[in-house]
Amino acid sequence: MSNFSWEEFFRLPPEQKAPHFQRNGRPYHALIAQQFERPFLDRLCELATRTRRIAKTRGGRLFLQDLLSDKRAMLYFAQPSTRTFLSFYAACQIVGLQPAEVRDTNTSSELKGESPEDSVRTFSSYFDVIIMRHPVGGFAEKIAWMLSNTERTVPVINAGSGKDQHPTQALLDIYTLQRSFEERGGIEGKHVVFVGDLARGRTVRSLSWLLKLYPGVRQTFVAPAALQIGEDVLDSLRRAGVAFECTDDFEAAVPQADAIYMTRIQDEWDTAKESAALDTSRFKFTAAHLARLKPDAILMHPLPRRDEIAPACDADPRAMYWRQVRNGMWIRAALLLVIFDRDVEVDRYYEDLTR
């Protein structure tokens, strides 16, 4: 990475950036969905499941807490967050990483005019990993590039960057899909329907990339024309030969889906208040839709929700969004173990446990 200027590096297509985020064939940084290969996804899901099995006993929890007790993590969240922040915080605690946080840049030297780049460089002097969320797309990548030019490179994890990517949300979504379809041949061949603000929703962009790694998965994008998914995502699906469809007909999509992924309107990006004028009332999942959903389909949402899913759906066994939240904590714990190369110790403990 350090051989490039930032401008040169930023312009590279994601597939060419991805190898720079890896070391010894595994993620060193976790920045974009395109850096994850299928064997890695299978491994990470297995590791998350092993970790949660081990955590069922007090002895197991103490074992896990020792694995990264020699490391410290900085959680730098320059955008609002409840789940992702707490999920990483709890994941750090599971593996013993000591977490610190900067969540309000009004309390940091950014208020004195320090650049975010300098702030993050300061974090790298104290901490062993930086987990960050930022409103500027590509900013986490920029930090990883910048640190590669210093003597103290530390791993950077992207916990949401602009309208662009949310790779660890995509990992937990894959984990949720994999667990849900475990008894039905896995994710392969399933029909995933994305609904809502697909133009500005970063979770959908990252998950759509990862689903390409599962043969036979069909993707449908349901949104009003102004909020449809980006051409770059569609181009990559075309190149990969993935079957997809863009439509605004939510009612027709519901009974066809194996998984419905609802999202909220991302109007924090909407300076001109354009999307407030859009009629999005047809893109909501109500209790009446439950009867039209396949009996073994699942209903997902990255949360936070507004009124895209009626709370009356929450008790339905096909509603997966609260499980997604829980799965996120385990998959992030697993990711931290992989980044620091401590996953083999989990395997050893697990093998003893199941012998």
| Contact residues: ligand NCD, CB under 6 A | 83-84, 160, 166, 169, 202-203, 264, 302-304
- Residue 203 or 236: which CB sits closer to ligand NCD? 203
**What minimum distance in Å lies between the beta carbon of 87 and ligand NCD?**
9
29, 166, 191, 212: the active-site residue: 166
Give the pair of three-digit tokens for residue 190: 């399933």
Residue 225's SS3 state is helix
Query: For this structure, is 11 an active site residue?
Result: no
**Residues 10 and 141 sit within 8 Å (Cβ to Cβ):** yes
- Residue 265 or 297: which CB sits closer to ligand NCD? 265
Query: For this structure, is 191 an active site residue?
Result: no
Query: For this structure, is 133 an active site residue?
Result: yes
Of 322, 318, 310, nearest to 285 (Cα)? 310
112, 271, 273, 354: the active-site residue: 112
**What minimum distance in Å lies between the beta carbon of 168 and ligand NCD?**
9
**Residues 263 and 201 sit within 8 Å (Cβ to Cβ):** yes
**What minimum distance in Å lies between the beta carbon of 316 and ligand NCD?**
21
- Residue 169 or 220: which CB sits closer to ligand NCD? 169
Cα–Cα distance, 326 to 323 (Å, whole number): 5
Burial of 133 by CB count in 10 Å (0-12 exposed, 13-18 middle, 19+ buried)? buried
Alpha helix segments (H runs only) across 212-320: 231-239, 250-253
Query: For this structure, is 294 an active site residue?
Result: no
20, 71, 133, 301: the active-site residue: 133
**What minimum distance in Å lies between the beta carbon of 159 and ligand NCD?**
8
Query: For this structure, is 163 an active site residue?
Result: no
Residue showing the smallest CB distance to ligand NCD in the complex: 302
The amino acid occupying position 245 is E
| Torsion sign, CA atoms 49, 53, 58, 64 | negative
- Residue 166 or 191: which CB sits closer to ligand NCD? 166
- Residue 27 or 302: which CB sits closer to ligand NCD? 302
**What minimum distance in Å lies between the beta carbon of 263 and ligand NCD?**
6
Sheet strands (E) in the chain: 22-23, 26-27, 72-77, 98-102, 129-134, 156-161, 191-195, 218-222, 244-247, 259-262, 298-300
Neighbours of 335 (CB within 10 A): 26
Supply the residues annotated as catalytic.
83-84, 112, 133, 166
